A and B are shown apart, each in its own frame.
Chain A
Amino acid sequence: MNEKRIQSHPILQPLEGASVEFTFNGKPYHGRPGEMIATALFAAGVSVFGHHHRDQGPQGIFCANGQCSQCTVLADGRAVKSCMVAVRPGMKVESAEGNPPLPLDSAVGNHVRPADVQVPVLVIGGGPAGLCAAIEMAKVGVKVLIIDDKPELGGKLTLQTHGFFGSVADCWAGTRGVDIGYILSDGVEEIDNIEVWTEATAVGVFWDGKVGVSTPDGYKLVTPERILIAMGAREKALAFPGGDLPGVYGAGAFQTLVNRDLVRPTEKLFILGGGNVGLIGGYHALQAGIDVVGLVEGLPECGGYKVHADKLKRLGVPIWTSHTVIKAWGEETLERVTIAQVDERFQPVPGTEQTFEADTLLIAVGLSPVDEILVKAREYGLKVYAAGDSEEVAEASAAIFSGRIMGRKLARDMGVPVEIPEHWEPLAEVLRSKPGKLVTWKPPQISEKIYPVIRCVQEIPCNPCSAACPEGLIKMEGIMGLPEYEGDCLGCANCVSRCPGLAINLVCEDYDPDGKLALLILPFEFGDEMIRLGGEVRTVDMDGEPVGMGRVIAVRERPDQDRRRLLMLEVPFAERTRVSGFLVRKDSELVDKALPSEDEDPIVCRCERVRKSEIVREIRAGVRDVNQLKALVRPTMGGCGGKTCGELLLRIFREEGVDLADVSPSTNRPLVAEIPLGAFSEKEVDDAR
């Protein structure tokens, strides 16, 4: 029953057992206490949650974040988002087949007026930016209310099992994101002046300046003097044939299932997008024992940090740049993925198609700010601020700083004298910066008994290695500089265990008295099942190219090294500086034939099942107003309200040769999330929000 649960993980603690009995379509299942229905179903191998009323298309998880309605199921007869509602003992869950019936219910309501809550500052979003901003304000005596739609604070930090980049002194670089989340939520708890509402969804801001918040304790209308929007980002979408199949979903959903819920939702994963989100998703998958069949990136280079790409390549994951996914195949769920090379105009090159078996395709093609409430609040002339990804999409370390700065600015605007240190703004800029230029890596020309090999060849904001060296032997200019080793290494391996990019290893030249072998000390973040002590492994260089063979001698743990172990690898002396790792997965196998499919017309609007041809038809008929397009063929009219397809529509206008200056934009209205009618007025609110 629980074969999809992750029982051991190199970074995360396995969760307690599944003890909550529920049924799905009449069959018994078990979930963990407090676990979301979607997670419990995935843990039992169920990934199709229903069929769409319009065309019976299979529906599964997509955002796992309460933003869309793809994962709707019936829980005790009521339509709920399965990613946001926890399983309860005895719960009857059914797949949503077509439009859900409205349950019979004659219980008399106990209606109350929504509580009116006045606050000096309302922070919407309890992720890195919101928490840091709140702490800065609370420290100087400004009273803050933080609301977040999840049961725990931390936002997406709770999904980040890897060590963070950035500056050690300023934003916990080298510490795992999930632990930064704990540091910040503890910080919020320890300080006065902050009130926190979790499981509290902001449904919209109204013209009268109030923010509607749906909470387990009823609907509340918050009147803030000032609002800080720290709602993060959401994933961009792509429209390609088969892209609507269950099994095709966002990288955030994947991280939620794997890293928050410790469920293995897939055996064979394919990734679309070579930014940090996609690259890190691939690494997290491998750590969870999931095979990563490959990753494609449309641009000639991956947009993410090179060290992240190198990690995947070293482990044997093929990365195809200038490639994209042209088709996803499958009956009810994803079975195969076809990729192709693209030309400089991103058009697939005929004859370059390759098809692979995969049961899951992660879409990681960039992020857009979650800014609906921000835009409206500005339109209404309210005192509103934005921090983190809601302000500008960047790394989480940048969100931390953006939050701090905005928190202090806000306090200052409220008349509290507080300084913003001069180095904060420039540092925030640096943390936001895209990776800089690449230099060619050269093997070190050193002849010491032991020394580090640093494969850090790209300017990124990061400095834990230099901070980790007790002798200060790793020098760099600012946090964007490239680290340089100066000699006299003690061999402590602190740098090996602290480098967030896993880009440093030690070479012991005096390992073999005969001088034929050398010992490498490599960072290792996998379970023991990946290696066999004394066993031979195929070694690779930093780009994943084969070098030769090596032998695993030992794996050492050090309590101060935060779940990163040191692996001792014996390699031929001549290969000592070239080898940077060893393959852990087999080659990806091409599939000869793709599954037959007539479906070449991609779904653009997933909620209303609007196909690209319908949109193109209306554009060619002269439609230049997105609102009219909505009226005619219904894109953006579904549960997510255009969060997914809104940008795709504009792209189709451009593809049709229409100047976007001639296109009238969509009007956006509350609510930003669907909420049961009863939640607005009834005292006894069910948890079907």
Chain B
Amino acid sequence: MPGKTCDAIVVGGGSVGVPIAYNLARKGLKVLLLDRRPAVGQGDNKAAIGGMRATHSDPAKIVLCNRGLEEMSRWRETHGVDVGWKPGGYVFPVYDEDLESTLRGLFPIQHEFDLNIDWVDAAAMADLVPGIERQNLRGGTYSPNDGQLSPLKMPVAFQRAAQERGAEFRFNERVTAYEREGGRITGVVTDKGRYSAPVVVVATGADAAADGELLGIDLPVQPDSHEAGITAPVEHFLAPLVVDMRSGPEGKTANFYFGQNDEGQIIFCYTPSELFVGDNREPLSEFLPILASRMITLIPRLRHLLVRRIWRGCYPMTPDGVPIIDKVNEIDGLFLAVGMCGQGFMLGPGVGQEVAALIVDGATSLPEAAHNKVRFDRNFHAASTEALK
């Protein structure tokens, strides 16, 4: 098959790749997006629970998510397309002094990078989370500008917006080689064809390490998996997403989080204390009993929710828990947007803007301190800076 030429190839059509394609097309580039799956968002994107928070302690993530929130909360106005946006913020309810001081200790850096977050007392927390266990509740943090979106609707919305701007999407097509000439990337080969472009972006989520091998660079991305579930819809009663940072008495959960989406469904997930390393996405029997006891202990009325479906998705982790969003110095024209550490969905729109800036403007759009955190040439084994992984 004769090579096809375009300005930029994006490999990976998930939470990160599709916004990148959109932002590049918006800046006038002729973009081709390739994905081995049959449609956009069919990898771990759709395993996300849909929370979008700028409530992080890492500056880059705060800035990227603030930008994403700005864009997504207005998507319907701008594009006339529903992406399931539901405002309501994030709360981290707190029951012990240590956690209170940890979370309060993050406020300076969070405020420095313009995160709207503050402490609310127990009564205010109980108003935000109706039915929450009041015993020992000290209050918690509340970041009202955070919100949620539909992981099902968002990637298609970006895809269609990109297509309107001339981007081409090809599915069921696996990249088998990256082509280089000297120190430059020149295109990719797939199981169906060959495509040339001076710019290639790798946004392959949990598969990133394999792309690193094809490229001959070490991409330190290792997936582990998390389970999630969703219930039948109920009348809206819960505005914010809730993160309970405590580890569970059963010894299996490091924290858990949930929210009510725009459909009225409660969608939930936990972080296991002992990680399930690898990319197995099949559900395990222990998930529901453990999560049920944790959720009902926090909010007893949740016992009446009808559980509809569960699934497992991957967190593409980097050693320091911070993404890689950068050009590759050794290979001209090669850009990376990988290692989102389970936050690809909430980071994606902001990452799309940043990668387009890196490619088209030739410079980062982030404050330098933030950009340094996500550089590919950083020391991945320095002490982690992210308290709210």
Q: Give chain A's interface residues, CB within 8 Å of chain B.
A: 53, 69, 78-79, 98-109, 111, 113-114, 204, 206-208, 210, 212, 219, 221, 380, 623-625, 627-628, 630-632, 639, 641, 664, 669-671, 674-682, 688
Contact = CB atoms under 8 A, between A and B. Distances in A.
Interface in B205-242: 231-237
B307 A98 contact: no
A620 to B, nearest CB: 14
Given A102-B304, A624-B38, A380 B310 contact: no
A114 B289 contact: yes
A677 B309 contact: no
Given A671-B307, A677-B307, A680-B307, A109 B288 contact: no
B38 A99 contact: no
Contacts of B171: 625
Contacts of A671: 307-310
A98 B296 CA distance: 24
Top 4 closest pairs, chain A to chain B, by CB: A678-B303, A631-B152, A664-B38, A207-B282
B310 A669 contact: yes
A675 B304 CA distance: 9
Interface of B: 38-42, 46, 131, 152-153, 155-156, 171-172, 231-237, 250, 264, 280, 282-286, 288-293, 295-297, 300-311
A206 B310 CA distance: 11
Contact of A111 (B232, B233, B293): B293
Contact of B42 (A101, A628, A669, A688): A628
A210 B31 CA distance: 46
A674 B283 contact: no
Given A675-B307, A677-B231, A111 B280 contact: no
Contacts of B250: 113
Contacts of B233: 53, 99
B216 to A, nearest CB: 32
B128 to A, nearest CB: 16
A675 B156 CA distance: 31
Contacts, number: 163
A682 B290 CA distance: 11
Contacts of B306: 79, 639, 674-677
Query: Which of A107, A221, A627, A680 has the most chain B CB atoms closer than 10 A to its own CB?
Result: A680
Q: Is the interface of A mostly helix, strand, loop or mixed?
A: loop
Given A102-B234, A111-B293, A623-B39, A207 B305 contact: no
Given A98-B235, A109-B296, A677-B292, 8 more contacts: A99-B233, A102-B301, A109-B300, A111-B297, A113-B289, A208-B286, A669-B309, A681-B296
A36 B370 CA distance: 61
A109 B284 CA distance: 23
A680 B285 CA distance: 10
22 contacts: A79-B304, A99-B234, A99-B235, A100-B234, A101-B235, A102-B237, A108-B300, A109-B293, A109-B297, A111-B296, A207-B280, A219-B289, A221-B285, A221-B289, A631-B46, A631-B153, A674-B307, A675-B306, A676-B305, A680-B288, A682-B292, A682-B293
Contacts of B300: 105-109
B42 A681 contact: no
Given A111-B296, A380-B282, A677 B156 contact: no
B305 A208 contact: no
Nearest to B154: A631
B308 A627 contact: no
Nearest to B301: A105
Given A623-B39, A639-B232, A677-B292, A210 B285 contact: yes
A78 B305 CA distance: 9
A101 B305 contact: no
Contacts of B42: 625, 627-628
A674 B295 contact: no
B283 A670 contact: yes
A108 B171 CA distance: 50
A110 to B, nearest CB: 10
B304 A688 contact: yes
A345 B152 CA distance: 36
Given A627-B46, A632-B153, A681 B40 contact: no
Nearest to A102: B234
A293 B284 CA distance: 51
A669 B296 contact: no
A210 B285 CA distance: 6
